[in-house]
């Protein structure tokens, strides 16, 4: 059994604590300090999760609201950005900004590209 665990890992060592978290957890996304945390391994999925998060507050995407400006906040501690800011304009003209912690999908993307 030790050889098997050496090659494939034991169930305990492969357990990632983030696997028990929902796809979106954490804050309400209204400030950098209260960012909504995106818990997935792909930026494509992360974008869909962010759209779903915003749609829960403002209605249907591209009907009731649209994305405007999007950017990453600079992170002094790491070269990988952690917080993505998405500007939203609603059909009634109101504008909002939402903050998302995308460190997990960015880490996976950097590993796949060999940047990490």
- 46-92 pLDDT, tens per residue? 999 999 999 999 999 999 999 999 999 987 777 777 899 999 999 99
pTM over the 0.85 mark: no
Q: What is the DSSP string of 64-96?
A: TEEEEEEEE---SS-SS--EEEEEEEETTS-EE
Question: What confidence tier does 2 reach under pLDDT thresholds 50, 70, 90?
Answer: low
Placement of tokens 């950098």 in the chain: 32
Residue 99 has pLDDT above 80, yes or no: yes
Q: pLDDT-based confidence at 5, cuts 50/70/90?
A: low
């Amino acid at each position: 059994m030790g050889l098997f665990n050496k090659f494939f890992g034991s169930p305990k060592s492969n357990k990632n604590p983030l696997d028990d978290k929902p796809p979106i957890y954490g804050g309400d996304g209204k400030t950098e300090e209260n960012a909504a945390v995106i818990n997935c391994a792909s930026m494509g999925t992360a974008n869909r999760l962010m759209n779903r998060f915003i749609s829960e507050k403002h209605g249907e995407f591209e009907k009731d609201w649209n994305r405007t400006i999007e950017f990453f906040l600079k992170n002094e501690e790491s070269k990988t950005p952690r917080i993505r800011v998405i500007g939203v304009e609603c059909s009634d003209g109101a504008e909002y900004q939402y903050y998302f912690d995308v460190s997990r999908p960015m880490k996976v993307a950097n590993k796949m590209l060999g940047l990490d």
